[in-house]
Amino acid sequence: MEQLKCLRCGVEMEFVGREKIQLGRTGWILGDLPNLVAGALETAIFTCPKCGKLEFFQGDFFDDEGEETGSIAETRCPSCGVSYDLDYPKCPRCGEANPNW
C-alpha cells in the first residue's frame, strides 16, 4: 500500500478501519466512482491526525486478506455483499442470482 498523505496538511494519514456502507444512502460520498454495483460496498477509511479529514477508498484497493486477488473480473452480490467471479451464475454464499449473468 502506498503511503497516504493528507492533501491539505501533507502529513501521513492513519488507517481507521473498514466499513460496509450502503450505496443508496452514501451517493454523496462515492457518486463519482466507476464500477459501482448495487448493495453494500466495503470501504477503507483513513483520517488525517492533524486536521481530521476523512478519506474513503474502495476496500478492494486495500485488501490485505488475500481473498480477492487476481485479474479475473468480479462482481459483488447485491444481497450479501460478497465478491465472486463474474462468470458464476449466482452468489456462492447466499445463492442470489448474478445481476451481470
Residues that bind Zn ion (CB under 5 A): 6, 8-9, 48, 50-51, 53, 77, 79-80, 91, 93-94, 96
CB of 28 to Zn ion, least distance (A): 21
Angle at 48 between CA 53 and CA 64, to 5 degrees: 110
Nearer to Zn ion by C-beta: 26 or 79?
Answer: 79
Q: Report the alpha-carbon distance of residue 70 to residue 85 in Å, rounded.
A: 10
Q: Which is nearer to Zn ion, 9 or 29 (CB)?
A: 9
Helices (H) and strands (E) counted in the chain, each on its own, are 1, 5
**CB of 10 or CB of 66, closer to Zn ion:** 10
CB of 34 to Zn ion, least distance (A): 22
Residue 57 forms beta bridges with which residues?
Answer: 44
